[in-house]
A and B are shown apart, each in its own frame.
Chain A
Amino acid sequence: MSKLGRNRLTKGDRIFDFVNYTFLILVFVVTLYPFLNVLAISLNDSTDTVRGGIHIWPREFTLENYKTIFEYDNLVTGLINSILRTVLGTVLGVFSSAMVAFTLSRSDFQGRKFVSIFIVLTLYFSGGLIPGYMLMRELNLINTFWVYILPGMVNAFNIIIVRSFMDGLPYALQESAKMDGASDFTIFWRIVMPLCMPVLATIALFVAVGQWNAWFDTYLYNSSNPSLTTLQYELMKILQNTNMGASDANSFRGVAGEEAAKQVSPESIKMAISMVTIIPILLVYPFLQKYFVQGMTLGAVKS
């Protein structure tokens, strides 16, 4: 407590600090506990889980649950599709945002005003669920993988964030490249893009998380086609089934087949699938934290 002692703490200060620390520790526990609980249950022997009472430590440690879920075909297909859409969606989304943002950051670009208004307006309205669905039908995107990638590829919010970052770059760099005869695209690709890495990392994270977490487009457009399923959608089906009151055993039989159902508790399976969808995010997130805090602050201040 010597750190605090420096500033002559009054009694009021001490009470305030005590209450504040207590409250924030509570927030910390409430936020973290569910994750640890999911992890513990996913690592616990499945039949043992039914007895309940597992909190943040597995009682009978096993990796059997994880083995079981990877024997379930739909889940593996879902995992592959989720990875595919995340990678492809992120690359295309970041590239398109950067390119449009670059043209908007060029104050000599005469189409700037029009393009800017045309894109920003989309922040304020949308056609809604049914017209959107009808459009996908007209475009023959239903029951295709592309319905995951194309509709959201050009995103106004991301363009604004990248653009405000580019506005802060010194223009002299672009100008001297121009003198050397570089084309606009070369300037964008060779000079501006490398300087934009922090902000591109931020929106890459946003887009990737959005793609990874999406389930509704699978539900709406591709639910009749098991080969296009996604991890979140499979998880959604499993969790919703139990919500609807179907008995645990029944919903589990749909997942892993009769044989496995006798040995493994559905609770542990559900938590194992949940962990598989959480882990990738847990892995990248600490490395990107610095960027997204910057990106958020920047984006919010500018818009």
Chain B
Amino acid sequence: MKTKMKTHSKPGVSLQKKSFWTIFKQQKILYLMSLPFVAWVFVFNYLPLGGWVMAFQNYRPGLGFFEQEWVGFQQFIELFQDERFYLVLRNTIVMSVMGLTVGFTVPIMFAVLLNEIRLKAFKRTVQTVSYLPHFVSWVIVAGIVTKMLSVDGGVINDLLVAVGLLDQPVQFMTKGEYFWVIVTLADLWKEMGWNSIIFLAAIAGIDPQLYEAAKVDGASRFRQIWHITLTGIRPTILVVLILSIGNLITIGFEKQFLLGNPTVVNFSEVLELYALNYGIGLGRFSYGTAIGIFNSLVSIMLLFIANGIFKRYANQSVM
């Protein structure tokens, strides 16, 4: 196939009417600099997609690809007949939606409130500290959360008992009904500051004269926040919403893995952990892959639902 030539946009270099191979030779260094990495990406990102066919086989290690037994949709049928699957699906959806809602709105609020602070040093200190947890691993965060919520000496229990909200310490980490909230709040603690960076940058771009004018007109602080700050960062809010909805695809399992324990497993197990336990734990690779494929489908569905709601209430589509 002959490649169509584009007229070059940069002045001084003209590349008109040369064949693909002539240019290829001229640009061989550029090709050398990127094609090895394309091959890399192919191996590590595209090849695993080929593994999806395993879901339609009954994969046995040691046999070649074509020697495997083909079973059609049997893995999926088995999956849909497993009671546990529906529990895990519920957990996945609930935690995704909770995480999206809280993880998207609170950083905006935080950025707006921070912007109202006029003491520069105070503002900078709070900001710097708020980014910190983002850089710490979930292993550490899970350790910290467990420590803070523990019965003996956990600061949360101590505080709640001291103010009289609790009669005696509660074993938060062993109560399934608290697990979703704990995961959501832990995530908020870890990422709130980090996620607010982009909103703060957007707020910094708003013309200060707008505030001056509003003040002259006697607008209250709330009106200023509503009409100037939030209106000013509306495009950024939309971009971030799109990105967070996009991230529903990768809700992950790290938090659930690290914060969960056998007593709350009915609330903490998500699809990916379920795939991990069956697929690798029990060596049922085909079944695990089927769960993985279903996980992707659920994520895409969540994306469409979120997009639909968004379209309806914000009259704007992200896809």
Contact = CB atoms under 8 A, between A and B. Distances in A.
Contacts of A102: 33
Contact of B135 (A10, A33, A285): A285
Contacts of A285: 131-132, 135
B28 to A, nearest CB: 9
B275 interface: yes
B183 to A, nearest CB: 14
A147 B33 CA distance: 23
A102 B32 CA distance: 12
A250 interface: no
Interface residues on B, range: 35 or more
Contacts of B276: 129
Contacts of A118: 38, 41-42
Nearest to A235: B139
A209 to B, nearest CB: 5
Interface string A31-45: 111110110000000
Given A126-B45, A130-B288, A236-B139, A110 B24 contact: yes
A296 B139 CA distance: 24
Contacts of A110: 3, 20, 23-24, 27
A134 B54 contact: yes
Contacts of B34: 99-100, 103-104, 111, 115
Interface of A: 3-4, 7, 10, 12-13, 16-17, 20-21, 23-24, 27-28, 30-35, 37-38, 52-55, 96, 99-100, 102-104, 106-111, 115, 118-119, 122, 124-135, 139, 150-154, 156, 171, 175, 183-185, 188, 209, 212-216, 220, 232, 235-236, 239-240, 242-245, 270, 274, 277-278, 281-282, 285-286, 289, 293, 296-297, 300-301, 303
Given A28-B129, A126-B48, A127-B48, A4 B272 contact: no
**Interface of A, helix, strand, loop or mixed by DSSP:** helix
Nearest to B294: A128
B198 A175 contact: no
B30 A243 contact: no
Interface in B125-165: 125-126, 128-133, 135-140, 142-144, 146-148, 152-153, 155
Given A3-B119, A133-B280, A239 B113 contact: no
Contacts of B92: none
Contacts of A293: 197, 201
Contacts of A10: 220
Interface in B221-247: 221-222, 239-240, 243, 246
Contacts of B117: 20-21, 24
30 contacts: A3-B118, A12-B221, A38-B147, A99-B34, A103-B31, A106-B30, A108-B13, A115-B34, A118-B41, A119-B38, A129-B276, A130-B275, A131-B50, A132-B51, A134-B48, A135-B47, A135-B48, A139-B43, A151-B44, A154-B37, A183-B29, A184-B29, A184-B30, A185-B29, A213-B135, A243-B173, A278-B136, A293-B197, A300-B243, A301-B239
B199 to A, nearest CB: 10
B9 A131 contact: no
A243 B265 CA distance: 13
A128 B293 contact: yes
Given A285-B135, A297-B201, A300-B239, 17 more contacts: A21-B117, A21-B122, A31-B129, A31-B130, A109-B27, A110-B23, A111-B31, A115-B38, A124-B249, A129-B292, A131-B52, A134-B51, A134-B54, A209-B135, A213-B135, A239-B258, A293-B201
B33 A232 contact: no
B51 A127 contact: yes
Nearest to B262: A244
Contacts of A17: 116
A239 B142 contact: yes
B110 interface: yes
B289 A131 contact: yes
A37 B155 contact: yes
A4 B50 contact: no
B213 interface: no
A175 B147 CA distance: 59
Contacts of B49: 125, 127, 131
Contacts of A111: 27, 30-31, 34-35
